[in-house]
Structure 1
Amino acid sequence: MQQGSDRQPAAARGARRWPACAAAAAVLVAALAFQAVRIPTLEHDVVWAEDGAVFLRGALDDPVGSMLAPYAGYQHVLPRLLAGAVVALAPIGSYAAVVFWVSAVVAALVCAGTIPLARWAVPWLPARVALGLVPVVVPLMAPEIIGNLADLHTFALWLGVWIALSMPASRLESWLIAVAALLAAMTEVQLLLMLPVLLLRIHVRRPLLWPVIGGFLLGLAGQALSWLLAPRRGYEGVPIGIPDVVVGWLANVVMPTVRPEEQGIREAFAAQGPLAAAPILAGFALAALVVLVWGSWRARLAGAVVLLASASSFGGSLLASPIEQFQYASMQGEDWLTAIVDLRYGGAAGMLLAAIVPIAAAVSVERLSGRWLLLARPVLALGLAAFIGAMAWQSPGAGSHRSGVEPWSEQIARQAAACERGQDPGVLFIAPYNRELVLDCPSITGAQ
C-alpha cells in the first residue's frame, strides 16, 4: 500500500506537468515557424551588422580570446559563443543562413522556457502560453530584432526577467535555470535592473532558488566589471531627460505594439503629439490596474517588475546612447515626420509592456469564481489569442532592414573565386543599409 501511495503523487505531478510541457512544445514550434515566415526566405541569407563586423571577425581572428571581449560597454557571451560554434562547424558561405536559424531557435527556446519560468507568478496556463508568444511578436515591430545574434540580448532581457520571478520545482530545474541565468546576465547588461528583485528573493527560504540567484549575480558581476573597464563610448553626450524618455517610450514602445508602420506613427505624432498614443496606453493601463489592485502579491510583483523594466530598459538605452535624435520631448509638428520611431530599444520594452495583458488575464481567472469563472475562462483565452494574433498579423507592416542586401552565400562564392585567381577579395555587404565588411582570403576559403 505504501509503495502504491508513493507512486500516486508522482503520477499526479506528471499529469499536472503534461499540459505545461505540451504547451511549451507548441509555443516552441509556433515561435520558430513565425520567425521563419516573418523574415522573407531570401533575407535569411543576409548577415546582420555586428554578426559580421564584431562576432564573425572575433570568431575568425581570436576564437578563444574574443569570448569575453566587451563590446559597446558590456558582455555578449551568448552571441560570441554561437558565432564561434557556427564558424567552427559550418562553411563560411553558409554563415548567414546558419546564424539566422540558430538565432531563431534560441528565441523560440526562450519563448518555450517562459512557460515553466512564469509558473510561480502566472499560474493560469493559457496566460503563460500568451506570454511565451509575446517575445516573437512584439519585437517584430522593430524590424531588426529577430534572426540575428546581435539582438539576442533582447531575448536575454526577457528571459532574465522571468528567471528573476521563477520558482524552481526540483534540483535539476534549479541548476538548469542557474545556467540560463548566467548566460542571460552575461549577454544583457540591463539585467542589472533585476538586482533589487534578486535581493528581495534572497530572503525567501527556498534553497532551490539559491543556485539561480548565484548564477544571476555572477553574470551581473561580470557585466559590471566590463562596464567599468570598457565603458560605452562614441556618443555625442547631448542631454536626454525624463520627458524625452517618456515621449520616446510612447512613440517607440506603446504605439508600435498595435500600429507598427513607421510613417503612420510619425504622421500620428505630427498631428496629435504624444496624445496619439493615449488610446493604446489606456488599454495597457487598464490591464495594469487589474494586476496591481486585484492581483495576488505574486501577480503584483510580476506586474510591477515588467512595467518598471519596460520603462527602465528603454530609458536606460537612451541615456546610455545620448544623441540629438533622442530628444523626443522637444519635437513638435513636422519634426515628427523625420523622427526615429522604429528604435530597436523599443523591442525589449515592448515585450515587457505587452506582458501585463496576460498577467491581467491570469489575475482575473484567479479572482473570479462560480459561473463567472466558467464564462471568463473562454472569453479571456479568446481575448489573449486576439491580442497576440493582432500583433502577429500587423508585424509585417514594420518591414525589414535586411532587404536590398545581396545574399551572403553569393558574395562569398564570388570572393572565393577571386581568391583562387590570386586577386583581392574586395568588399562584402551586410545589413542594414549595405554596410561594408572586408575578410581576407584565408577566412573566405578556409585556408589555414
Structure 2
Amino acid sequence: MDPLRRAAGLPLVAVVIAFATAALAWYRLGPVPRNTVWAEDGGVFLRERIALGSVDTLLHPYAGYVHLLPRMVVDLGYALPTARYAQVVSLSSCLVVGAVCALVFVLSRDVVRPWPFRLVLAVVPVVLPLAPYEISGNAANLHWYLLVLVPWVFAHRSRTWWGAAALAVVAGLAVLTEPQAILFTPLLLLAWPRRRAASAGARHARLLPLPVTVVALAAAVVQVVTTLTHPRDLTPGAPAFRDVLAGFLLRPVAGAWDPHLGEVVATVVEHGWAPVLVPAGALVLVLAAGVVVGPPRSRWMVVALAVASGAVWWAALLANDGAGQPWADPTSAMAAIPPQRYAAASGLLLVSAAVVAAAALVDADRWSRVAQRTGGTGRLVGALVAWCVVAAVVTAAVLHVAPADTRRSDGPVWAEQLPAAAEACRADPTVEVVRVRSNPWSSPVACAWLFR
C-alpha cells in the first residue's frame, strides 16, 4: 500500500482500536464491578474534590505524588448525577485505556513495523489476564496504563508541530499522573535526530521533540518536588533480592498468562519451580534475541520495558510490603494471597517488551548485520519464535476474556445505596454529608449533590 494512503487511514484505525478496546475493557469488568466505586475514587479523590473544588484538587498531593488524570475523571463523575457516579468513573477509565491502546498503535509504528504485532502490542493493556482483577475500570489505577504509554510518547518522532504539541499534552498528563514515568526519560533521546541539519527547514524539523522534552522534564520536576515535600509513608523493612526475584516469577511473569496466581503458587509448592522457570526462561530468550537482532530503537525499547517491569515490581514491594512475603520459599498458605495491582502493572510492561522483541525477530529486513549472517535458517527460526509469542498472548486473552472474579465482584453497588442516603438527608435537615459504602472504604456524599 502507498505510504500516503496508509498514513491517511491511520486515524480511522486508531479510532476503531480505541473504542473496541474500551468496549472490551468494559465487558471484562462485569456488571457489578462497573457499578461499584473503588478505593480512592470514592475515598481520597472524591472527598478532596468536595472539599477543595475542581481546580485546587487537580495537583493536590496524595501518597507522595500528583494524580492529575484520575482526579479529572473523578471531577467528571462529580459533575454528573450522583446515581451515575460509579458508571461514569468506570466508563471514563475504560475510554482512557482505549485511548492508550490507540496511541500505542500509532506511536509505535516506527519501531514495530509488522501491523499484526503492533495491533497485539496495542491491545495488551486490555487483554492481560490480571487487568480486570483490580486495575481496570477505575480512576485510581489509571496511572499504570499511562506508564505503558509513556515510553512510546517519549521515543516518538513527531512529523509536525501540531503533532508535537498534542504529544506534549499527553506527556504532561502521563508524568503528572505517574512519577515512575521518570524511568523512561532516557528514551527522550531517541526522539532527537542525530544527523546535523543541512538546511533551515531541516534544522527547524530537528526541534520537533522539544515540546515533549520540555513538558516531560517539567512534569518530572513537579513530581520530584512533590515527593520531597510530601513524602509517602513507607512500610518499614525491605524484601530480600531472592524474594523480589521469586515474587516477580510468581506474580507478574505467571500473571502474564494465568490470572489464578494462587494455583501457580500451589503448583510450585507441590511440583517445584520448573512450571514457572521453563516459560520464564523462554521469555528471557525472546527478549535477549530481540535485543541482539533488532535495530537500535527496538533494542532500547525492549530493554526499557523489561527493566521498567522489574523496577515497578521492586519499587512497589519497597513502598507497600516492607519485608514482604518469602516468595523464594513459598508455602501452601501463600496460595491465598490475592494478586497485587503492581503485579498487573509490571506484567503489562513485560508482555509489551516481549511483543516488541517478537516484532524485531520477524522484521528480518532490519536485523543487525551479525544476525543477517544466519541466512534463511535464522529468519525462519526468528519468525517461528515471534509468531509463538503472538499466539501465546492471543491464547491467554481468549481463554480469559470473559468477566471473572475481581476485587469489586461483591459490590457494594453504588446506586442501590442512594435512596437510603437521600432519606437520611431528608430526615435531618442539618446533615450536609452522608456516607455511602464503596469498596473497600466508604464515600462522602453531600446531600446537595444527591438532590442536585
Do both share a fold (TM > 0.5)? yes
Residue among 354, 360, 364 paired with 1:363: 360
Residue among 337, 341, 345 paired with 2:342: 345
Q: In 1, are the aligned partners of 2:317 and 2:324 still within 8 Å (CA)?
A: no
Please provide the CA RMSD for this pair. 2.8
Q: In 2, are the aligned partners of 1:74 and 1:230 still within 8 Å (CA)?
A: yes
Q: Does 1:65 align with 2:62?
A: no
Q: In 1, are the aligned partners of 2:125 and 2:348 still within 8 Å (CA)?
A: yes
AA at the equivalent of 1:160: V
AA at the equivalent of 1:67: L
Residue aligning to 1:29:
19
Distance in 1 between the 2:414 and 2:282 partners?
43
Residue aligning to 2:438:
430
Alignment of 1:229-248 (within 5 A): 229-233=229-233, 235-248=234-247
Q: Does 1:251 align with 2:242?
A: no
After superposition, the C-alpha distances for 1:13-66 in whole angstroms (9 at most, x for unaligned) are 431214543442332233112112111123211100000101111222112211
Residue aligning to 2:100:
110
Which of 195-204 and 94-103 deviates more? 195-204
Residue among 385, 390, 407 paired with 2:396: 390
Runs of 5+ unmatched residues, structure 2: 196-205, 366-371
Q: Residue 122 of structure 1 aligns to a residue in which SS?
A: coil
Residue aligning to 2:125:
135
- Give 1:275 deviation, angstroms: 4.3
Distance in 2 between the 1:284 and 1:37 partners?
29
Q: In 1, are the aligned partners of 2:155 and 2:189 still within 8 Å (CA)?
A: no
After superposition, the C-alpha distances for 1:110-154 in whole angstroms (9 at most, x for unaligned) are 000001211222222221111100011226346111110000001
Q: Does 1:421 align with 2:427?
A: yes
After superposition, the C-alpha distances for 1:381-414 in whole angstroms (9 at most, x for unaligned) are 6862552342342255862111222311121222
After superposition, the C-alpha distances for 1:163-193 in whole angstroms (9 at most, x for unaligned) are 1222212221111111100100000011111
Cα distance change of structure 1 residues 139 and 145 upon mapping to structure 2, 3 Å threshold: farther
Cα distance change of structure 1 residues 171 and 354 upon mapping to structure 2, 3 Å threshold: same
Cα distance change of structure 1 residues 69 and 106 upon mapping to structure 2, 3 Å threshold: same
Q: Residue 134 of structure 1 aligns to a residue in which SS?
A: helix
After superposition, the C-alpha distances for 1:284-320 in whole angstroms (9 at most, x for unaligned) are 1122122111111111111111111111111111122
Q: Does 1:47 align with 2:37?
A: yes
AA at the equivalent of 2:421: Q
Q: In 1, are the aligned partners of 2:37 and 2:86 still within 8 Å (CA)?
A: yes
Question: TM-score under structure 2 normalisation?
Answer: 0.87
Residue aligning to 1:79:
70
Residue aligning to 1:223:
223
Distance in 2 between the 1:100 and 1:154 partners?
15
AA at the equivalent of 1:209: P
- Give 1:283 deviation, angstroms: 2.8
Residue among 139, 144, 151 paired with 2:141: 151
Q: In 2, are the aligned partners of 1:270 and 1:334 still within 8 Å (CA)?
A: yes
Alignment of 1:322-337 (within 5 A): 322-329=321-328, 331-337=329-335
Residue aligning to 2:368:
none
- Give 1:374 deviation, angstroms: 10
Cα distance change of structure 1 residues 167 and 48 upon mapping to structure 2, 3 Å threshold: same
Q: Residue 174 of structure 1 aligns to a residue in which SS?
A: helix
Distance in 2 between the 1:34 and 1:86 partners?
21
Residue aligning to 1:290:
289
- Give 1:337 deviation, angstroms: 3.1
Distance in 1 between the 2:282 and 2:451 partners?
55
Distance in 2 between the 1:343 and 1:104 partners?
20
Distance in 1 between the 2:414 and 2:436 partners?
8
Residue aligning to 2:162:
172
Cα distance change of structure 1 residues 26 and 383 upon mapping to structure 2, 3 Å threshold: farther
Residue aligning to 1:190:
180
Q: Residue 428 of structure 1 aligns to a residue in which SS?
A: strand
After superposition, the C-alpha distances for 1:187-238 in whole angstroms (9 at most, x for unaligned) are 00111111233356557463211111111111111110110010111x4312
Cα distance change of structure 1 residues 209 and 153 upon mapping to structure 2, 3 Å threshold: same
Q: In 1, are the aligned partners of 2:291 and 2:299 still within 8 Å (CA)?
A: yes
Which of 163-172 and 177-186 deviates more? 163-172
- Give 1:86 deviation, angstroms: 2.4
Residue aligning to 1:445:
451
Q: In 2, are the aligned partners of 1:261 and 1:398 still within 8 Å (CA)?
A: no
Residue aligning to 2:309:
310
In percent, how many aligned pairs have the same letter? 30
Distance in 1 between the 2:388 and 2:284 partners?
20
Q: In 2, are the aligned partners of 1:260 and 1:395 still within 8 Å (CA)?
A: no
After superposition, the C-alpha distances for 1:245-300 in whole angstroms (9 at most, x for unaligned) are 21121111000111211321220232355544212212311221221111111111
Distance in 2 between the 1:335 and 1:253 partners?
19
Question: TM-score under structure 1 normalisation?
Answer: 0.87
Cα distance change of structure 1 residues 275 and 231 upon mapping to structure 2, 3 Å threshold: farther
Which of 436-445 and 149-158 deviates more? 436-445
AA at the equivalent of 2:310: A
Count of aligned pairs: 430
Residue aligning to 2:200:
none
Q: In 2, are the aligned partners of 1:142 and 1:342 still within 8 Å (CA)?
A: no
Runs of 5+ unmatched residues, structure 1: 1-10
AA at the equivalent of 2:317: L
Q: In 2, are the aligned partners of 1:248 and 1:328 still within 8 Å (CA)?
A: yes
Q: Residue 62 of structure 1 aligns to a residue in which SS?
A: helix
Which of 141-150 and 299-308 deviates more? 141-150
Which of 97-106 and 273-282 deviates more? 273-282
Distance in 2 between the 1:184 and 1:86 partners?
20
